[in-house]
Chains A and B, each alone.
Chain A
Amino acid sequence: AQSVSQHNHHVILSEAASLELGCNYSYGGTVNLFWYVQYPGQHLQLLLKYFSGDPLVKGIKGFEAEFIKSKFSFNLRKPSVQWSDTAEYFCAVWGGATNKLIFGTGTLLAVQP
């Protein structure tokens, strides 16, 4: 079955630390890739997306992600996190036979001031 894996379920960082959250998916072919963020008590908001072109995608709030097709990965990065980045982060992939957007299980990020 097609799936999206987020390796880190819970990450704790200090402010100014660098962040990398992993995302891998299980199917080949054309994919559209997304990272969403959910701040405490709020709805999901789009951080960034990749459809085609430059595999290094820049999003809002200083986040970026790199699509590595050979590794079926779309990892999220930020050079220096802030306390306000405390949230849950979801990777989502559209592609393959399902014709639907499949979400990973999420990574809860806590940034300590």
Chain B
Amino acid sequence: NAGVTQTPKFRVLKTGQSMTLLCAQDMNHEYMYWYRQDPGMGLRLIHYSVGEGTTAKGEVPDGYNVSRLKKQNFLLGLESAAPSQTSVYFCASSSGQRNEQFFGPGTRLTVL
């Protein structure tokens, strides 16, 4: 039981490049989330999904897109990376909206 996995673990991009972060969970959770973690700011919700085929905006959605084509996968895309998107990105999943969220190991992204 791997829980929540994320790929890649590290990535360096140049301004304007695009990339996709993959999150996978094997717990059959309906809810999935993407957060970014910045020093002194805690975790901020980027986008989330309440089930396969659905997505919704979180607190800081600008510059990101997401897709949930399969229940177990939640993809986060950066169409045109900016230095302000340098951060650590965490994916999480939960069985219910109010329940405990299980986190992945994170992706450290640097945009030059």
Contact = CB atoms under 8 A, between A and B. Distances in A.
A43 B98 contact: no
A44 B48 contact: no
Interface string A94-111: 100001110111100000
Contacts of A43: 4, 90, 103-106
A45 B103 contact: yes
Interface in B92-112: 92, 97-101, 103-106
A71 B90 CA distance: 31
B103 A100 contact: no
Interface residues of B, number: 22
Contact of A32 (B41, B45, B92, B98): B98
Contacts, number: 41
B58 interface: yes
A68 interface: no
A interface, how many residues as a size bin?
20 to 34
Given A36-B103, A90-B42, A94-B97, 19 more contacts: A32-B98, A34-B100, A42-B105, A43-B4, A43-B90, A43-B103, A43-B105, A49-B100, A51-B98, A90-B43, A94-B98, A99-B97, A100-B45, A100-B59, A101-B45, A101-B101, A103-B35, A103-B42, A106-B40
Interface of B: 4, 35, 40-45, 48, 58-59, 90, 92, 97-101, 103-106
5 contacts: A43-B103, A46-B100, A51-B98, A100-B58, A105-B42
Interface of A: 9, 32, 34, 36, 42-46, 49, 51, 90, 94, 99-101, 103-106
